[in-house]
Amino acid sequence: MIPYGSEHLIVLIFTVVLAVVAVLVARRIRGTRYENQALRISGWVMLMTTVLWILWGFLPGNWNIDQSLPLQLSDAVRLITAIALLTRAGWAIAISYFWGLTLNLQSIITPDLNYFDYPVLEFVMYWFLHIAALIVPIIFVWGLGYRPTWRGYGIAYAATLLWAGTAFSVNTLTGANYGYLSHAPAGPSVLDVLGPWPVYILWEAVIIAVVWALMTWPWETRDSRTNTAVVGTTGTVRRNNRHTLVT
């Protein structure tokens, strides 16, 4: 798909509108019995769609060593997003927040969508899964009042390093390029401005650390001013009619 062509621009506009509507709906059902029902149903839809799409890639006619293994960060964030919706576990919501609004966002702003055999299906699945991974953390934070913390920041960064190490190891063994950890994508990407491989990987690590810190600091500062600091417990707790992420 041509980046910033008519199809891409329509999808971007749709994503913005959907995000606004989703936040408004989430605020309306927040604290009601519909909140748990909506999150649970959405979680099962996300989980089943993700698993079926992974299995689709393993079918003999669809198998491709560069695409089929569930080792793209997008694959991981989809599963974690489903877990966040189903369980509301603090660690899952934290990872979905940091991954969904940054690394996953890159796939929306600069999509690397190559059609193989079923363009319509591939188009729908690519955008459904990436948009869902973006919208869900927006709903959690701006719609339902969940808050990122420094501990969640650390867990998300550690999870990123674990994923990167796994993907790079598989790339080395198979010659694939999951996560673009072995070379830059063929099409235009924000990685182009960060230098050649492997320099852009080092810059990514630094930029991610800084950006995620900026995505955490305002919430922690705000919570400390309003006496809703994180307490030493596990899971996700509600304080002053707000959610605070703790892990």
Cα(18)–Cα(138) distance, integer angstroms: 11
Which residue bears the tokens 């991610």?
208
124 in Cβ contact with 70 (< 8 Å): no
Burial class (CB in 10 A: 0-12, 13-18, 19+), 16: exposed
Q: Give the pLDDT of residue 244.
A: 53
Q: Give the pLDDT of residue 115.
A: 63
Helix residue spans in 59-118 (DSSP H)? 73-87, 90-98, 104-109
For the chain, give the mean pLDDT: 86
102 in Cβ contact with 212 (< 8 Å): yes
Nearest to 138, CA basis, from 177, 108, 170: 108
**In the chain, where are the structural domains located?**
6-245
The CA–CA distances, whole Å, from 174 to 73, 169, 171, 177, 182 equal 17, 9, 5, 9, 11
At residue 80, the 3 state secondary structure works out as helix
Residues of the chain with pLDDT under 70: 1, 115-117, 187-188, 223-247
Q: Give the pLDDT of residue 116.
A: 61
- The residues pairing with 238 across neighbouring beta strands, listed in sequence order, are 243
Q: Give the pLDDT of residue 165.
A: 95
Backbone torsions φ then ψ of 158, nearest 5 degrees: -65, -40
Q: Which amino acid is at 94?
A: A
What percentage of residues in the chain have a pLDDT greater than 90? 61
- The residues pairing with 244 across neighbouring beta strands, listed in sequence order, are 237
Q: What angle do CA 205, 83, 124 make, to 5 degrees?
A: 80
